[in-house]
Chain A
Amino acid sequence: QSALTQPASVSGSPGQSITISCIGTSSDVGGYNYVSWYQQHPGKAPKLMIYDVIERPSGASNRFSGSKSGNTASLTISGLQAEDEADYYCSSYTGGSTVYVFGTGTKVTVL
């Protein structure tokens, strides 16, 4: 099972919106509505921002939203803030022997 494909970096100015893509296959992203997104600041453990493609856990800002079309999931950050500068990872349930697969990671820079 290969890692999901994410852009290495995405940047935006404060207040702007950015979108991070997560490309998988019909065996993972496209096959199940179990895509999660994590935010990781340097030296910290990942934090769940989106689960089940579109759901937001309590504690996650409502500026974060998720979506999916076919084999591609997306995370949108609206009203970009300095505190959003971090690494972001998607993950998907696969239903196979590699039960969960993570994305390659995207570094978000706030200009």
Chain B
Amino acid sequence: QVQLQQWGAGLLKPSETLSLTCTVYGGAFSAYYCSWIRQPPGKGLEWIGEVSHSGGTNYNPSLRSRVSVSVDTSKTQFSLKVNSVTAADTALYYCACFGWLRGPGSFDYWGPGTLVTVSS
């Protein structure tokens, strides 16, 4: 059974850097493509970026200039950094993965979510 556990700071001030990490337990980490997805309070889902086990990345163009996603295969972890946060970055942040046997974007494993609030 694959489980995702995520953690990181939940309260930030404007201009600070958001940093979250997600550990994948169970399964074969090399078989997964993992993304970060966020959901502002009361709103819909927004894809942020993805990383493969080999370190290849893709980012949402609307966030590309401020976002970085990285992977540490030795720890079966992947991480998210968002620079220069503003109130608009306040959201529930999810890590999510799908296996290579599925079509792209079929996220069947999700973390519990981390609420990140940006406030002065």
Binding site for B on A (CB under 8 A): 1, 3, 33-34, 36, 38, 45-48, 51-52, 57, 89, 91-93, 97-105
A-B contact count (CB 8 A): 72
A-B residue pairs, 4 tightest by C-beta: A51-B106, A45-B110, A52-B103, A102-B45
Which one, A34, A38, A48, contacts B104 given CB within 8 A?
A34
Of residues B35, B37, B106, B107, which shows the largest number of chain A Cβ atoms within 10 Å of its Cβ? B106
Q: Is the pair B108, A101 in contact by a Cβ cutoff of 8 Å?
A: no
Selected A-B contacts with CB under 8 Å, 9 pairs = A1-B61, A46-B94, A48-B106, A51-B102, A52-B106, A57-B106, A99-B105, A100-B47, A105-B44
Q: Which residues, 69 to 98 on B, are CB-close (under 8 Å) to A?
A: 94, 96
Complex CA gap A83/B107 in Å reads 22
Decide: A89 and B44 in contact? CB cutoff 8 A: yes
* Known A45-B112, A46-B45, A98-B47; 4 more pairs at CB < 8 Å: A48-B106, A93-B103, A93-B104, A99-B50
Majority-rule SS of B interface residues:
loop
- What does the 1/0 interface line of B12-36 toward A look like (CB < 8 Å)? 0000000000000000000000010
Contact B113 A34 (CB under 8 A): no
Complex Cα spacing A9 to B47, Å: 22
Task: Name the distance in Å between A61's Cβ and chain B's nearest Cβ.
Answer: 15
B61 touches A100 (CB 8 A): no
Contacts of A51 in B (CB 8 A): 102-103, 106, 108
B60 within 8 A of A: yes
